[in-house]
Structure 1
Amino acid sequence: MTSTTEGAEVTPRRTPENAAPRRGRDRQAEILRPAAGRPRFTTDAPRVAVVGGGIAGLAAATGLAERGARVTLYESEGTLGGRLAGWPVDLDDGSRVTMSRGFHAFFRQYYNLRGLLRRADGGLGMLTAVPDYPLQHSAGLRDSFAKVPRTPPWSAAGFAALSPTFGFRDLARMDPRAALPLLDVRVPDVYTALDRVSAHDFLTGIRFPEAAHHLAFEVFSRSFFADPRELSAAELVLMFHIYFLGSSEGLLFDVPGEPFPQALWDPLAAYLEGHGVRLRTATPVESLTPLEGGGHDVTAGGRTDRFDATVLALDTPGLRAVAAASPELADPAWRDGVDRLRTAPPFLVSRLWLDRPVRPERAGFLGTSGYASLDNVSVLERWEGEAARWAARTGGSVVELHAYAQDPRADRPDEQKRLIEQLHRIYPETAGARIVDQRHEWRADCPLFPVGGYGDRPGVRTPDPTLVMAGDLVRTELPVALMERAATSGFLAANALLERWGVRGQVLWTVPRRGRSRAMRLLASLA
């Protein structure tokens, strides 16, 4: 048994005494057992405030409420889901549809996120598999993951062999010694080694083929909503471990078969309310005041309530605002670290309802590079029921465009127009389509993981034992990222509080926390 991480013991294999169903195909996935304790509260259950109704807050509320804690969840928006929220809009043709902040991929190694969703549907019937994840460069290069093996190291080798961006000359020019850290990624060691190097400079240092750099790694790095020149190489290398060399779940993924509220959050909200959770949407938390002996007075919507503990599951702007308005919270060093957190550049999601269909062979999701600021294209009726019903009724298509890491000074109407022009380049049949309606969402609230910024990121635990953190900006010291980091940190936050009260928390899973084979680890040690 290995050392504990945020109060969870890690064992590499399932055993009868720690039995928990493995929710993937990877036999080397690690189980994280919570600290020992009684199964749930029996009397005097504590009152806990969960601040934030995104994935992290919902996971924390779930972990606490299932064990009998009295949970109140605050969300500033009118709907749950955070960056995966959705809301109704009326189109010019009279249709009522659901708008959101855009496509998200539910990878098979997102064990704890998928575990959260199983509360609403044990069979994950709300998710549907996407058959491929093609990447296309404006120069004509195209990659696919449909035929790439899933088991490392054959996954990375198969991608290199099948990709048009890798030639024998390209491979010969690479610096294998500089690439050795990819073979044995460990958390948090990877941050010690690479946090002060940019993703761009790391790839340049190993002489990664330029075409593959743009077509593959840049597409992935921009999923962090950041330019590779700003992104910490540690995050890029960790991502390589999660999807290529650390997990045999592969790079194909699932997506919700209906819009986020209907598929995910409405059923989960009903589940939480069935466990006594009070959901206070459209109620932003203004400040927290620590109490002598532990706990906090939480002021939200002009009303103050007293809680035994608090989970902060906010995005970067929200966290900074609450910390600034709560001058006694935690300690000065913690507040200073929060104040130094940065948000990624703005991003744009454009959704178009067209009066004619895109060609039937178009992929449901296409990652792009070299098309100005366009990062990907989704044809929603390929998997989403609501979009499919609209397309069937009208004979049209619902197309979504993403542009990450936008210049904050960009002229927004011009950028929206240029994005549509790039769609016409990729799918020429859309140039003749009439846009029935369109929606453009600009946001700037995703965390930035800049070069050298790891030390400022808060962990799950804080100097106040009754205050814990959750979210994709939080350090977990586990190989998780994006939505899975949010879900995992939410459960870890709940577990930290439950451990304090002597109650056993949630069993979790993660991809292996080091290189999968002794040979890979031995090679990495030569770096």
Structure 2
Amino acid sequence: MRADFGRDRRVVHHRAPQARNSRRLDHRPRVVIAGAGIAGLTAATGLAERGIAVEIIERRAHLGGRVGGWTDNLPDGTPITVNRGFHAFFRQYYNLRALLRRTDPQLHRLRAIDDYPLVDGHGRHDTFRRLPRTPPWNALAFAARSPTFPLHDLRRIDARAAAPLAAVSVPGIYDQLDHLDAETFLQRINFPATARHLAFDVFSRSFFAPPTQLSAAELATMFHIYFLGSSEGLLFDVPTSNYDTALWSPLRDYLSSHDVRIRTGATVTTVETGGDRAFRVREQDGRDSAADAVVLATDVTGLRAIVEQSPRLGDRAWRESIGQLRSAPSFLVYRIWLNKPVAPHRPAFLATGGLTPLDNVSVVNHYEQQARTWAESHNGAVLELHAYALPERRTPNQEHDIRARLRARLHDLYPETADAQILGEHLQWNQDCPLFGVGDHAHRPTVRTPHDGLVLAGDGIRIDLPVALMERAATTGWAAANALLTQWGLPGHDLYTVPTSGRNALLRRLATRYAAATSPAEDLR
């Protein structure tokens, strides 16, 4: 299966580890995977393609985790499609795209979004349309034409202090900046306040956390992945139909053709060592099964619960690292079906800054086939509104208030929706994304664990490569499969990423000098 290199000639090829003591297996290993999100499905693909017997156990009724999709009904009985929320499939998500190519070699089930406009509370607009592809010219051109980057403010930026931002090295950036929150770091480099909402808050809130709770190292890594580390640009693709039909149903069929068994609506509760094989996996309904290896690919809440109920797993330090994992604040996905269309020029996706509680608006019928069909038959529109970093406590009054505020923001941005009737609505309030907080990186668990046959995967798992969000989930999934395949003397799967360090030699030298001259203790004074 060929890799998707995109446009960037400096993509880094991470070759799969060499198998030790390659030999003919005396039996077919059996692996149980807890979780059918991107990480679990990727691990299953990597293992099944090498002949391993795989069973996936998923607590939800659908595949894809936080990128899942399913069907529902409007109050009038009309069937509708629903996703867990809009996701951008960036061109530099090489390892995720490698997974999707298993069932869609040319990625025809993805379509390009030609712009990613941003608007702030003062009505200022930014766009990524027609930017140069090559760093650092992409970032410089964005700043030069942006109304939020006044020249006199740019001159005030502390170039020495900002050097790590422009010359990220993974994992070294965590030694430099993980002790700071993103908000404090941006203040210390004198980054223009007017630009912060659009240039960085959008990135921060992509992690479902406000800048005061996000590690500055994670923010810098995001800046590297999407700006200065890649020539793929900030434009992205989206599935042409609902996630279940475009992505996961075809992959389910592909995995079934490789004898993978998938069970939904079942929850793994404990993992025990020993027995007929190396592990015994127990489920909430009392069912249990033996496995030669286990992949835990759940969200952080699920992982903590399994480890807490499996007292013989791991050692003290590892168990403590699992216990320290945190979930990001709650987020809301609010999809509405309107009886009037929006203006034709409205973008498929609009990001917002300083317009609390609204973080973005998607016109779903501009790119998703099922929503387009509904909108055309009703002369209407299907919109999706997101609100991130919400209070953990959820009450009916609070939910009603946030929905009303989201609609008010929508009416301000898209006035043609003000008198539209809502024919249906679907609300999701979740808190299952990992938090990348200050100082978390040092104790974050990695793919490998104290047990050779137990591995972790997911977007909350540490892997020292420049990847984030969905791409981190896919990358850890491949890495988990590789860790097990290597033990069995079987070939693994190669990985691809943007460069692991800054592309510009001068900026790298400045960053090195800054790191040598400034310690974390001094930075906190």
Shared fold by TM > 0.5? yes
Shift of 1:302: 1.4
Shift of 1:294: 7.1
Match of 2:90 among 96, 107, 124: 107
Change (3 A) 1:264 1:394: same
Is the 1:85–1:260 contact (alpha carbons within 8 Å) kept by the matching residues of 2?
A: yes
Which is further off, 409-418 or 244-253?
Answer: 409-418
Shift of 1:20: 5.3
Match of 1:186 among 158, 166, 169: 169
Residue 460 of structure 1: aligned partner: 447
Which is further off, 330-339 or 62-71?
Answer: 330-339
Residue 485 of structure 2: aligned partner: 498
Residue 15 of structure 2: aligned partner: 33
Establish whether residue 319 from structure 1 lines up as the match of residue 306 from structure 2: no
Establish whether residue 153 from structure 1 lines up as the match of residue 136 from structure 2: yes
For structure 1, list consecutive stretches of 5 or more residues without a partner in the other structure: 1-18
Shift of 1:381: 0.7
Indicate the SS of the match to 2:471.
Answer: helix
Indicate the SS of the match to 1:492.
Answer: helix
CA distance in 2, matches of 1:100, 1:20: 29
Residue 440 of structure 1: aligned partner: 427
CA distance in 2, matches of 1:477, 1:372: 34
Cα deviation 1:248-299 (Å, max 9, x = unaligned): 1110000000000000000000000100101011111011001279721001
CA distance in 1, matches of 2:4, 2:22: 21
- When normalised by structure 2's length, the TM-score is 0.95
Match of 1:144 among 127, 131, 137: 127
Match of 1:398 among 358, 369, 382: 382
Look up the equivalent residue of 2:381 and give its one-letter code.
Answer: S
Establish whether residue 213 from structure 1 lines up as the match of residue 196 from structure 2: yes
Alignment of 1:66-105 (within 5 A): 66-105=49-88
CA distance in 2, matches of 1:47, 1:322: 20
Residue 405 of structure 2: aligned partner: 418
Shift of 1:332: 2.0
Indicate the SS of the match to 1:201.
Answer: helix
- When normalised by structure 1's length, the TM-score is 0.94
Number of equivalenced pairs: 509
Which is further off, 147-156 or 221-230?
Answer: 147-156
Shift of 1:408: 2.0
Is the 1:41–1:503 contact (alpha carbons within 8 Å) kept by the matching residues of 2?
A: no
What's the % identity of the aligned pairs? 53
Look up the equivalent residue of 1:427 and give its one-letter code.
Answer: Y
Change (3 A) 1:32 1:358: same
Shift of 1:235: 0.4
Change (3 A) 1:348 1:39: farther
CA distance in 2, matches of 1:24, 1:147: 17
CA distance in 2, matches of 1:376, 1:235: 21
Indicate the SS of the match to 1:425.
Answer: helix
Match of 1:50 among 33, 39, 53: 33
Match of 2:180 among 173, 197, 219: 197
Is the 1:191–1:234 contact (alpha carbons within 8 Å) kept by the matching residues of 2?
A: yes
Residue 59 of structure 1: aligned partner: 42
Establish whether residue 355 from structure 1 lines up as the match of residue 339 from structure 2: yes
CA distance in 2, matches of 1:40, 1:358: 62
Is the 1:54–1:82 contact (alpha carbons within 8 Å) kept by the matching residues of 2?
A: yes
CA distance in 1, matches of 2:329, 2:441: 18
Cα deviation 1:108-165 (Å, max 9, x = unaligned): 0000000000011101111010000000012011000012212111111111112111
Indicate the SS of the match to 1:526.
Answer: helix
Residue 9 of structure 1: aligned partner: none
Look up the equivalent residue of 1:429 and give its one-letter code.
Answer: E
Residue 7 of structure 1: aligned partner: none
Indicate the SS of the match to 2:377.
Answer: helix
Indicate the SS of the match to 1:121.
Answer: coil
Is the 2:449–2:455 contact (alpha carbons within 8 Å) kept by the matching residues of 1?
A: yes
Change (3 A) 1:370 1:517: closer
Look up the equivalent residue of 2:137 and give its one-letter code.
Answer: W
Which is further off, 348-357 or 283-292?
Answer: 283-292
Residue 374 of structure 1: aligned partner: 358
Across the aligned residues of Structure 1 and Structure 2, the Cα RMSD in angstroms comes to 1.6
Residue 501 of structure 2: aligned partner: 514
Shift of 1:227: 0.7
Is the 1:86–1:259 contact (alpha carbons within 8 Å) kept by the matching residues of 2?
A: yes
For structure 2, list consecutive stretches of 5 or more residues without a partner in the other structure: 515-525
Cα deviation 1:288-313 (Å, max 9, x = unaligned): 00127972100123111110010110
Is the 2:5–2:11 contact (alpha carbons within 8 Å) kept by the matching residues of 1?
A: no
Which is further off, 254-263 or 179-188?
Answer: 179-188
Shift of 1:184: 2.0
CA distance in 2, matches of 1:22, 1:108: 9
Shift of 1:22: 4.6
CA distance in 2, matches of 1:216, 1:270: 40
Is the 1:352–1:439 contact (alpha carbons within 8 Å) kept by the matching residues of 2?
A: yes
Cα deviation 1:314-333 (Å, max 9, x = unaligned): 10111011111101011122
CA distance in 2, matches of 1:167, 1:282: 54
Residue 16 of structure 1: aligned partner: none
Which is further off, 349-358 or 291-300?
Answer: 291-300
Is the 2:277–2:290 contact (alpha carbons within 8 Å) kept by the matching residues of 1?
A: no
Which is further off, 276-285 or 402-411?
Answer: 402-411
Which is further off, 215-224 or 293-302?
Answer: 293-302
